[in-house]
Structure 1
């Protein structure tokens, strides 16, 4: 049922193979089952399950408002591009914060990459993961300066079970026990409750690593429980570009900054939500990113995925996060309120450094805010001044909320962005897969008819060429009668059968009698009797014309003479 109502639940090829095996199991031991019926059933199941998703309305993964809001499904990146391109700017949430700047709010963390897509490593939080107290963020040590801030969030039109939260959160109040934190990315997810309409307060850490800590940090400690592998068979341009861009960097931190600068300014990239769609390279898989590095135009999904993959090729653990930019500040009842909409949906990469943990970077030009620590010259000054959010001139120039910044510049959000690649990669291939499966289903449906037609043509040629004309003619006559619902037992003599045919097909009496005499002569005389192929064709056509409605359809698609022969039935 899931496959019948939603595409992407299973790989089509494996689903088809499973369906075939299942039908074979149904067939086994059922002697009276009609093989043609099994073929028809299989064709209907296979074609219907893959075609229905294009006819039926989409089924959401998570509960939502039912309105035109933002879809925060299991993998929010799947719909991120569509949400960014939708015509209206849909309100997502509002929040107030004790920070002097706005904050990044994450929905999901995507830390698994198989070469085709990014996806969360864990989406099923344990029942003991109470949001009243979060664990310490992965990799963070007491040596890093931090302060605790708060944000009060009012969610508007966001469907799904991911709660928008800052990173790293330490405590959330105002939600029921159904909301739990997810390990690794410290995201928050519910088993059954929608994020729409939730109002809560989140306490979180504002991290302030200094330049010495950043440059001394190693990318991955021994025994780090995260998948930071790079799939084999990736396009060479990805690793080659990463090595070229970071050739002059001496530390892992400097390599991360070099990658960010390459996308922000040095590489000649431009922000575009339409170019990837128009030029057919929308997504986040390795093949898509290879094209993106050549086209140099895309939106946050492409930039975040590209930087994360390239960082992994350099040995730096990286993941992708989907969530919201800080939004636009406004004054409401003399209070500063940040308003976040669908245009603030965003994906960004996070890179891991031992002793500090996961740090957000911003490779997308014209979107988001560059973290303070991505400008080495400004890190210590920002910390000494108590700011630490954004360096002078580091704010992106375009985009709905480019004026707001991230506290501490260290918002590490659980990744969800790479899922868009999967959906798009599959979406690109799905029409061809559906077409192939549909053609196979049609071929299966008409296979019995094709076999029977080939058999008739072979017999007609044999009669015309004098190869056992009596035997072929009489076999075809009997099978045609059986296909059209007539009894034609082998125990009945040619004369008896011909007399029965003549009663119904009086206009063809002379031709039937001619065929009967030819068969009898062949059987009882030394020389074969005369059989005319014209008489055979005429009588076969007359038998078919005498049948109407369902019997005629059955005679073509499910010829009983062929089915009986396959089943081994005796007439």
Structure 2
């Protein structure tokens, strides 16, 4: 048995091994370029491992002459067996033995990793299946390139065939550019090295065609010429790259063009549900927080877009600093664009009654750690906006979820520090449908102040000292309507006294700041009381609050809290009796506001039926389904497309034109089918001679039909008589019978490959190959 096994081993020529070595080296140059997209060397291990696995599978295919399906199956088996230690070792047993989780990550990474890597903030470190992307890329390039080098290139060693081996490494190199960041990884060194090796190898391949009988002078002349070209390419490439390479901000990378899939506008405005907390959830525990400092605020959502009805998270296309620009993050977060750090905070959150996409946090997040295994499994659902310090969990936080946040704290300004500091030039969406009384009151309250900080503090002080706090609850002395639309802002300022809660005062202050030309945004969160020495605090609905942030040049976003503490509204503010019609006439439009009052960012009893549950299936089901579906789609979709093209071709030839044209179409269709089955079709011969050549390739018991068909076709085409459609259909029947005989005589492999071949494409490739060979022969002369 061993002797018969070794007898089938095919010897590989030395120059073929050189081709494989060049392919591997050039591919490594491309893989190394992914360094800027990852935060550790795991990508390099995965890429090199995939490249070696693909090369080994292709080498085994060449040595033992395996078929295409067997080679593909071997590569898939190696992909899963060796994928755990190479790509996702942290999910395997002892980093080597595959588990259901590691096999699932291999499948998910191969399918979804390509989309995540261009939306994941670089350097990418989370989720773990991202490392499968370079693993798959290296495996495919190594497999296809080595098969071409060992099995296809030796058949006819021409320059254009050799050049095709460079396609895979070039694609890897291009992928490292497109999947990277604005800061490339040693582009000059990698580019020059790639070009030099490729040129030297192509020159060597050309010199090999001289053989041992070639002139030594010619050989040395080619070597010197190649060396000159390589040196010139290195010099010109280096100088040109230094002179003309685009600046980092102008480089084209996919992650800058592809937007993350999370759209915050699909969710209701968090501020629209403010009264839900103060009324329905006032005493309900929402979450516990440990490590919170006295006076520290918990941020929930940041809003900078106002349309006259609501403050909302802006679309990421509205402005460069919009609050709607959320991106995937890894274990570490991006630095905020405008902040003056003053220490850091380490805070732990545990959800009790809170369930929403907006993630409670403090300051500007720097790191996050998940203490809850269920939440850790959904870590790749996290999106973060570095400009606003807002994080969202697209699959929603749930009861029992625990996580720890390390954040950067914004410094609080001391007296006089910002008196001469202007507001920062931050582009925010324009506020629309703002009532004129807002600007009038802003000018009135800020009169006498000349600096931006002085005007804003004057407005804040006026609101806090002249206004009154009321949540509109039954225990409040006067009613206070919910909402912060234009009508509510008008009502706030037109009444004899300012009455409202944090929702109205924060909205009013932000609009007043905007009317003075200062960028301002509204932040919704919680302000729990943290007594000195208290480690853990329970946050309830009544702790909800809202404030305003305004950016100052070189300093950061400074918070303003304009809500008053005084709840004793003077009695003359009590509404007039219901018998007087005026309050009824001036009722605000309730159609829209009622909806806003009911909409809330918290749905404590909402079921999880809308969640994406595909990955809640048993791991073995996901692995089995993907393991079957992915190879099936790779094999079946091309065959389906080719089959549809062939059916369209046959239908056009069979039903178009007069009878003689249809008979000729039957002959052409038969030739195409023979060509697709791998039979050699002679070029520029008459039909009888072509038929003779074809029948010579068939077994003796299957000959005769092709020559008969050739005579019938010539008679129909050259006789000048009309051919009846029924006669043409009979010719088609004979032609298809001949094709069936040829198919039966072909091997199983040739019949399978025929499903992926198109006769016209094969003829075009044959013409190109013949033309290239002829041109090459003329040059050798």
TM-score of the superposition, structure 2-length normalised? 0.35
Richer in helix (by share): 2
The one of the two structures with greater contact order (alpha-carbon pairs below 8 A, sep at least 6) is 1
Q: Which has the higher Rg, Structure 1 or Structure 2?
A: 2
